[in-house]
């Protein structure tokens, strides 16, 4: 018997509106405060010492703080983000990782189900008429996710990447500005910025892009042959994480600087040798795999035609008025999702230390990334902060850190920055956690919840109603789960589908957005 939409909303609200958010806030505050207390105890600052002494101690002993933040990120990935792939940008690599975890390159489903599993515009998941399916993105991030998907904890990867990113940011700052507290500032400003924190609890590939950029930079600061080979390997992974533009824009200034050094030919050849294996395997190899899937314009192509078709997605365009407005909003997000004043401090760092090559290169990577996306016609859709910029985001706290350790920065500026960073660490991140959790809960409430569980369930989602309901059509790649979420073709066609494939099933819940069928 069908239930009303109001009853579904009541049940969904009862299922989601639990006292968990309060527990989340208490848990996260406890973990972060414990980390801060530990650092403060080590630093001997009990409110009487100068604030920079705390940052200097953080620069000298970063590991306790990094460990506490990493644990907080892992807890938040489950309790705040629900371990859920909110957008298709997150679901596509997770879908592919689950395929890789089965030892396969493609999923296979009955051909008659393809139209119910993949939208007509196959931007994120590609499928052939014979039922083969795979992610439309390049496979690097899916490969990183694979062991975590196999273990049933894909949500754990990005928090660990976040912890590694904190350490890399600290290491680069200590390497570039030794005998200063720059490492502590870089570490604190990164951990206190919601753009870093929220992306690190998501399933986006952007945290991996950020870490790859920092590793690439760290290896090129002292470009020995071994480091150049490793930098190329990191770069090849970054190019194939989901598509090559983020790493390309970030890396161009560093490659240009390498080309201006003595021994440039040997250095660039060594770097290219590092890039080559990954590009052959993850780039050309993935083109070949995708070419095996037919059914749309891109995947029906073969050879160079497939390459040209896929690279066509990266086409640039002249900025339109709409795109300029969109990027202006993105720039405001860049500021609002960071420690207050971070952008101004980064600009000050560029100006005060403009004679330092690394500072100029960080600034060039950031500016080139900002400029490059003014010519990319796509809107970022879902995203936390300005995620298109995230591959170069690590430049901001590093440039701000070098500014705070410049003689032109006074004690009052450092004190205000420390207060802003600590407030953002707790209050800014807490506010964003609340917003993220509320948004995800609202999205999940669009899927109807039955009054009683059943052995098997099928949910038909309406694409013409609700908010991004297509993002809720997520399934096991081989349809081995106890619930399928399918694209609806209208109530009558859905009923015929169920009568054909599941004759004993019954319609249990119907809402304006979806219909749920159960089979006992």
The predicted-structure confidence for 367-382, as pLDDT tens digits, reads as follows 999 999 888 877 777 7
Across 179-191, average pLDDT: 95
Q: What is the DSSP string of 113-129?
A: GHHHHS-SS-SSEEE-T
Last residue of a domain, one of 402, 437, 472: 437
Here the tokens at position 6 are 């109001």
Across 240-251, average pLDDT: 94
Q: How far apart are CA 417 and CA 414, in angstroms?
A: 5
The DSSP bridge partners found for residue 191 are none
Q: How far apart are CA 365 and CA 371, in angstroms?
A: 10
Q: How far apart are CA 491 and CA 257, in angstroms?
A: 61
Q: How large is the angle between the packed helices 225-239 and 264-278, nearest 10 degrees?
A: 40
pLDDT at 50: 45
Last residue of a domain, one of 407, 437, 467: 437
Across 149-163, average pLDDT: 97
Assigned domain for 409 exists? yes
Q: 384 and 479: one domain?
A: no
Quick check: 401 and 173 in contact, CB under 8 A?
yes
Cβ atoms < 10 Å from Cβ of 231: 26
φ, ψ at 382 (rounded to 5°): -60, 150
Element (H, E) at 44: none
Statement: residue 425 has pLDDT above 70: yes
pLDDT level of residue 28 (50, 70, 90 thresholds): low
pLDDT level of residue 462 (50, 70, 90 thresholds): very high
Q: 267 and 399: one domain?
A: yes
Question: Which tops the pLDDT comparison, 96 or 36?
Answer: 96
Q: 32 and 64: one domain?
A: yes
Q: How many CA atoms lie within 13 A of 421 on its CB side?
A: 27
Quick check: 449 and 508 in contact, CB under 8 A?
no
Q: 253 and 295: one domain?
A: yes
Q: 369 and 473: one domain?
A: no
- What domain count does the chain have? 2
pLDDT at 337: 95
φ, ψ at 458 (rounded to 5°): -130, 130
Q: 365 and 466: one domain?
A: no
pLDDT at 391: 96
Here the tokens at position 431 are 């506010």
pLDDT at 22: 46
pLDDT level of residue 39 (50, 70, 90 thresholds): low
For 517, residues 6+ apart whose C-beta sits below 8 A from its C-beta are: 457, 458, 459, 460, 498, 502, 505, 506, 507, 508
Among 185-194, 219-228, 461-470, the minimum mean pLDDT is found in: 461-470
Assigned domain for 191 exists? yes
Q: What is the share, in percent, of the chain residues with pLDDT greater than 70?
A: 85
Query: Is 134 strand, coil or helix?
Result: strand
Question: Which tops the pLDDT comparison, 16 or 44?
Answer: 44
Assigned domain for 250 exists? yes
Q: 214 and 341: one domain?
A: yes
Q: 429 and 463: one domain?
A: no
Rg (CA), the chain: 24
Q: 329 and 352: one domain?
A: yes
Read off the pLDDT of residues 380-391 as tens digits, 9 standing for 90 and up.
777 789 999 999
Assigned domain for 472 exists? yes
Assigned domain for 145 exists? no
Q: If phi over 0 gives left and psi between -120 and 50 gives alpha, with beta otherwise, what is residue 361?
A: alpha
Statement: residue 3 has pLDDT above 50: no
Last residue of a domain, one of 410, 437, 464: 437
Q: How far apart are CA 178 and CA 347, in angstroms?
A: 21
Assigned domain for 87 exists? no
Q: How far apart are CA 105 and CA 286, in angstroms?
A: 10
Q: 459 and 310: one domain?
A: no
pLDDT at 516: 92
φ, ψ at 219 (rounded to 5°): -70, -30
Element (H, E) at 94: helix 88-101
Statement: residue 200 has pLDDT above 60: yes
pLDDT at 23: 54
Q: How far apart are CA 455 and CA 470, in angstroms?
A: 25
For 103, residues 6+ apart whose C-beta sits below 8 A from its C-beta are: none
Assigned domain for 19 exists? no
Give the residue among 397, 518, 395 at the shortest CA–CA distance from 450. 518
Q: How far apart are CA 394 and CA 135, in angstroms?
A: 28
Distance of CA 127 to the CA centre of its chain: 24
φ, ψ at 160 (rounded to 5°): -65, -40
Here the tokens at position 350 are 């560029």
Assigned domain for 200 exists? yes
Statement: residue 45 has pLDDT above 60: no
Read off the pLDDT of residues 294-326 as tens digits, 9 standing for 90 and up.
644 544 444 445 455 555 455 667 877 888 888
pLDDT at 481: 85
pLDDT at 97: 97
pLDDT at 121: 66
Domain that holds residue 476: 452-519
What is the spatial order of strands in the sheet that 107-108 belongs to? Answer: 107-108, 132-135, 125-127
Across 464-468, average pLDDT: 86
Statement: residue 354 has pLDDT above 90: yes
Here the tokens at position 197 are 């924190």
Across 20-47, average pLDDT: 51
Q: How many CA atoms lie within 13 A of 519 on its CB side?
A: 14
Name the most confidently modeled range: 20-29, 207-216, 415-424: 207-216
pLDDT level of residue 452 (50, 70, 90 thresholds): confident
Quick check: 241 and 141 in contact, CB under 8 A?
yes
197-222 b/e (C-beta count within 10 Å ≥ 16 → b)? bbbbbbbbbbbbbbbbbbbbbbbbbe
φ, ψ at 453 (rounded to 5°): -70, 160
How high is the mean pLDDT of the chain? Answer: 86
Give the residue among 200, 175, 280, 265 at the shortest CA–CA distance from 233. 280
Q: How far apart are the first and last CA of the chain?
A: 14
Q: 486 and 377: one domain?
A: no
pLDDT at 46: 41
pLDDT level of residue 254 (50, 70, 90 thresholds): very high
Q: 479 and 336: one domain?
A: no
């Amino acid at each position: 018997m069908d239930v009303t939409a109001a009853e579904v909303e009541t049940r969904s609200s009862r299922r989601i509106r639990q006292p968990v958010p309060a527990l989340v806030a208490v848990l996260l505050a406890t973990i972060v405060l414990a980390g801060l207390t530990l650092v403060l105890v080590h630093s001997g600052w009990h409110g009487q010492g100068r604030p920079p002494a705390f940052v200097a101690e953080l620069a000298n002993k970063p590991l306790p703080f990094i460990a506490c933040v990493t644990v907080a990120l892992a807890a938040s990935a489950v309790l705040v983000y629900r371990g859920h792939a909110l957008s298709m940008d997150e679901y596509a690599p997770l879908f592919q990782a689950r395929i890789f975890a089965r030892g396969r390159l493609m999923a296979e489903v009955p051909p008659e189900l393809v139209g119910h599993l993949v939208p007509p515009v196959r931007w994120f998941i590609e499928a052939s008429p014979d039922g083969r399916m795979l992610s439309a993105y390049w496979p690097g991030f899916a490969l990183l996710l694979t062991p975590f998907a196999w273990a049933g904890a894909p949500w754990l990867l990005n928090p660990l990447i976040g912890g590694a990113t904190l350490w890399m940011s600290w290491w680069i700052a200590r390497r570039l500005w030794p005998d200063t507290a720059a490492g502590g500032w870089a570490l604190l400003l990164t951990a206190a910025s919601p753009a870093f924190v929220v992306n690190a609890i998501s399933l986006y590939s952007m945290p991996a892009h950020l870490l790859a950029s920092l590793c690439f930079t760290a290896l090129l600061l002292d470009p020995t042959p071994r480091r150049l080979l490793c930098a190329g390997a990191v770069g090849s992974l970054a190019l194939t994480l989901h598509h090559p533009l983020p790493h390309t824009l970030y890396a161009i200034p560093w490659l240009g600087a390498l080309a201006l050094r003595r021994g440039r030919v040997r250095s660039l050849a060594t770097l290219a040798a590092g890039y080559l294996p990954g590009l052959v395997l993850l780039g050309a190899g993935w083109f070949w795999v995708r070419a095996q899937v037919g059914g749309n314009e891109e995947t029906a192509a073969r050879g160079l035609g497939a390459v040209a078709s896929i690279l066509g997605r990266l086409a640039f365009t002249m900025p339109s008025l709409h795109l300029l407005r969109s990027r202006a909003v993105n720039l405001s997000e860049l500021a609002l999702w960071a420690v207050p004043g971070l952008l101004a401090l980064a600009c000050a760092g560029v100006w005060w230390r403009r004679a330092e090559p690394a500072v100029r290169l960080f600034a060039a990577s950031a500016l080139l990334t900002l400029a490059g996306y003014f010519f990319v016609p796509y809107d970022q859709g879902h995203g936390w902060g300005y995620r298109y910029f995230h591959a170069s985001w690590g430049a901001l706290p590093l440039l701000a850190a070098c500014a705070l350790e410049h003689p032109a920065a006074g004690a009052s500026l450092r004190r205000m920055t420390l207060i802003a960073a600590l407030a953002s660490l707790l209050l800014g991140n807490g506010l964003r956690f609340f917003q993220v959790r509320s948004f995800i809960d609202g999205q999940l409430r669009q899927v109807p919840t039955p009054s009683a569980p059943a052995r098997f369930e099928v949910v038909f989602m309406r694409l013409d109603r609700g908010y991004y309901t297509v993002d809720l059509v997520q399934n096991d790649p081989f349809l081995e789960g106890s619930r399928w979420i399918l694209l609806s073709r209208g109530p009558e066609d859905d009923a015929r589908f169920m009568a054909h494939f599941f004759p004993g099933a019954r319609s249990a819940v119907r809402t304006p957005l979806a219909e749920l069928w159960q089979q006992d």
